[in-house]
Amino acid sequence: MRPDLRSLVFILALLCATRGSFAATDPKPVTEPPPAAPNPISEALCGRKSSESARADALNAFDFAAVPESWRNLKREELDPWLKVMVCDNVTPDEHSLFMRRRRVLQVLRSHLERAVRIDHFEQAVLSLPKWRPVHDDWPAPGDCESCDALRRAATVATNHAVNWPKRKKADVIGSWLDGEEERESLIALLCRAKPSPAARADMEKRFRYYTWTPNGAKLLEVAAWFEGQDILEECPNR
């Protein structure tokens, strides 16, 4: 083969090899990921149709004394996604207003649940109240020992309320936590009003020590100590 043809063949072969190398290293076209599906909770809170629409609609007239069926069987932790979700995309002013109204109801619901947990803890203290079933005695008379009389009345009231305490069904769902909430709050207020002054116990122990050795007197000291327990003091701080 002539030298000039050999050179031409070599150059063509080199060009083909170079083109193949560039083609092998060319980047592949970038494919954009598909847009994420709308959050059904966010969509529902904005008033848009989604799988959570029924639950969101129930927030419009939420009755805390009779929790709507769509919310009754949710666990407490299932409320968190509703409180944390962002407002829907491309929101209109009306949708934003609806979203915020429903979000405020959810915040109130969270407050009720937090209060219910504290009441549940207080219930353990109520159920541990030493029951007051006085043995009849005429001494000391109310006029002779006002502090004894104050403790007797407090023990009677507290025992009656503890007996009537509405026990909660122990299920970790919203309906169970809120059922009977108003009744329990009412009884807590009555128990707090019955709380005797700490001075009553001290006076009885000082002036009528012999009485504290009787069954009635000893039981009154137990009831007074119950009223001074940490759980009661936290719930009734101003009494």
Q: Is the pLDDT of residue 22 over 50?
A: no
Q: Is the pLDDT of residue 39 over 90?
A: yes
Residue 48 is predicted with a pLDDT of 95
Sign of the four-CA dihedral 126, 127, 133, 134 = negative
Say if residue 115 is exposed, middle or buried (CB neighbours under 10 Å; 0-12, 13-18, 19+).
middle
Q: Is the pLDDT of residue 20 over 60?
A: no
The candidate with the shortest Cα–Cα distance to 184, out of 210, 150, 161, is 161
Q: Is the omega angle on the peptide bond into residue 140 within 30 degrees of 0, that is, cis?
A: yes
* Alpha carbons 42 and 106: distance in angstroms, whole number: 13
Contacts for 194 with CB less than 8 Å, ≥ 6 apart: 153, 154, 157, 158, 161
48-87: per-residue pLDDT in tens?
999 999 999 999 999 998 999 999 999 999 999 999 999 9
| pTM for this entry | 0.74
**Tokens at residue 41, please?**
């909770």
Span of 80-94, 176-190, 225-239 with lowest mean pLDDT: 225-239
